[in-house]
Amino acid sequence: MKELNVNGAVMKCYPLCAAQKLHNYTIRFCPAQVLCIGTGLYVQQEVDFGMLKRAIYKAYEMFETMRLRFIEDENGEVYQYITPFEERDIPLCDFSDRDEEEAHNEMRKWTALPFARYNSPMNQVIMIKLPNGYNGIYLKVDHMTMDSSSIIGFNRAVLETYCSMKYGTEMPKPMKSYIKQLEKDLAYEAGSDAKKRDEEFWKNEIAKDEPMYTDFSGQGRLLTQRRENNNPNQRWAMVISRSPEASISVYSLEHEASMRLMKFCEFYHVPMASLLLMGLRTVLSKFNDDEKDVSVKTCIARRGTLSEKYSGGTRVHFFPLRTIMEEDMTFLDGVRMIQAEQSRIFRHANYDPIEYMAKRRERFPTQAGASYESISLTYQPLTVDSNTKEMPDIPYKSMWYTNGVAGQPLYLTVMHRPEDNGLNFNFEYRKDVVTEHEMQYFYYYLCRVLFRGIEDETRTIGEILEMI
């Protein structure tokens, strides 16, 4: 911690944690808008916007990370600090007489506008009136201050506070201190024994043989790059492209089908993320000549303790999950192998992902921007509607707006819909490497694998690969 002068006031400023450093690293090679996350939460109900505005201010007060700002010191190092509570203007934007898609497009444009990096607010809230009686809020945040868990927590706090004001129900529970949690994270990073143990774990992982790149669109990219580099044994591929322009395609899995996946997980005591990873790695295998060695980047929310869960901020770390599966392994054994592998990784997920990548490049020298993973998976189990029983049976609409660019070729985020708990598959992809049609194709195969697997868990991977 160091004290810095912020607009004439001396403020306690803290270094960035590892998760924030990863985002800060991304904007070295990607436009700053890559860190903007835009969301919309709407209910089909008349809303008292004066009351909603007061609820939003209350939620601002509760969430330290909604008041988080950044500053550069004299050496160019980035620090963070919390501003005291401030009542910023929260405008109302009325789209009720416009086409709904036009309204969402407008919000996509807002999401593509980056925040000023230093001494400036890193979020924006706008109250929204949509056509068809939907009303709610648009929220844009900078990823260095909040991740999807924090965003859902904030939206939930606004809803619960509004319900409390309108219906006299309980106010949301107080949040935990972001700064106290940050201090714990920084203490871990400052050469703690726990960090040394994690470093040893990842060193041993990296010491294993070289992983194999498997692309979501087949072997073309790897084969082309092998030819270009005159290296028929190359196992990595360049995943950074010239244009970061991106788009999001959302596919909604029907409620009944989603429930079948969830019941499978409940029955066999396996996490949904393990099942989804099994689906993904099997499709990647299929698209890459039945490759057995498949790696997928997995998102780890790192919100275990109550302090981690309720302190806001951005905590996500990405690490590769590598599995080598023979064709005679059953689907269920594959899911269980992934579950065990995830459990191993979870225990060492506090390690800095940038340090991991640097160590991996020392072991396997590749070009800058090369990778062994073509897809990143995030499974988000939280929904915004929990604890809002005062608003039962009211139709919800939640939106995640693209910021127009992406740091990697393909991110898949699987989330539960607030309205029916069904699963939405959000594919965010770079337009120059994949088309919407290819995404549809990939999603189709992913569903085929998942449902062939859960309808008979004793089917082998080889059988499933043949069936699809």
Contact residues: another protein, CB under 8 A: 269, 271, 273-274, 300-307, 336, 339-340, 342-344, 346-347, 349, 381
Q: Which is nearer to another protein, 119 or 307 (CB)?
A: 307
Q: Which is nearer to another protein, 100 or 341 (CB)?
A: 341
Residue appearing with tokens 């028929």: 232
Q: What is the DSSP string of 139-186?
A: EEEETTT--HHHHHHHHHHHHHHHHHHHH--PPPPPPPPHHHHHHHHH
Q: Which is nearer to another protein, 316 or 410 (CB)?
A: 316
109 and 132 Cβ atoms separated by less than 8 Å: no
Rg (CA), the chain: 23
Amino acid, res. 252: S
78 and 72 Cβ atoms separated by less than 8 Å: yes
Q: How far is the CB of 275 from another protein (least distance, A)?
A: 12
Q: How far is the CB of 344 from another protein (least distance, A)?
A: 5
Q: Which is nearer to another protein, 219 or 307 (CB)?
A: 307
Q: How far is the CB of 317 from another protein (least distance, A)?
A: 11
Amino acid, res. 350: N
Q: Which is nearer to another protein, 48 or 170 (CB)?
A: 170
Query: CA dihedral defined by 337, 376, 104, 439, rounded to 10 degrees?
Result: -80
Q: How far is the CB of 310 from another protein (least distance, A)?
A: 10
Q: How far is the CB of 389 from another protein (least distance, A)?
A: 17
Q: How far is the CB of 202 from another protein (least distance, A)?
A: 15
Q: How far is the CB of 381 from another protein (least distance, A)?
A: 7
Q: How far is the CB of 269 from another protein (least distance, A)?
A: 6
Rounded to an integer, what distance in angstroms lies between the CA atom of residue 31 and that of residue 21? 16
How many residues make up the chain in this entry? 468
Q: What is the DSSP string of 266-285?
A: HHHT--HHHHHHHHHHHHHH
Q: Which is nearer to another protein, 87 or 326 (CB)?
A: 326
Q: Which is nearer to another protein, 306 or 368 (CB)?
A: 306
Q: Which is nearer to another protein, 2 or 344 (CB)?
A: 344
Rounded to an integer, what distance in angstroms lies between the CA atom of residue 167 and that of residue 172? 13
To 5 degrees, how large is the angle CA 31–CA 34–CA 40?
140
Q: Residue 111 — left, alpha, or beta (φ > 0 → left; ψ -120 to 50 → alpha)?
A: alpha
Residue appearing with tokens 């996490």: 271
Torsion sign over Cα 426, 432, 436, 438: negative
Q: Which is nearer to another protein, 5 or 305 (CB)?
A: 305
Q: Which is nearer to another protein, 194 or 394 (CB)?
A: 194
Amino acid, res. 451: F
Neighbours of 221 (CB within 10 A): 18
Q: Which helix (H) or strand (E) holds 404?
A: none
Q: How far is the CB of 284 from another protein (least distance, A)?
A: 22
Rounded to an integer, what distance in angstroms lies between the CA atom of residue 327 and that of residue 332? 13
Q: How far is the CB of 348 from another protein (least distance, A)?
A: 9
To 5 degrees, how large is the angle CA 111–CA 32–CA 383?
45
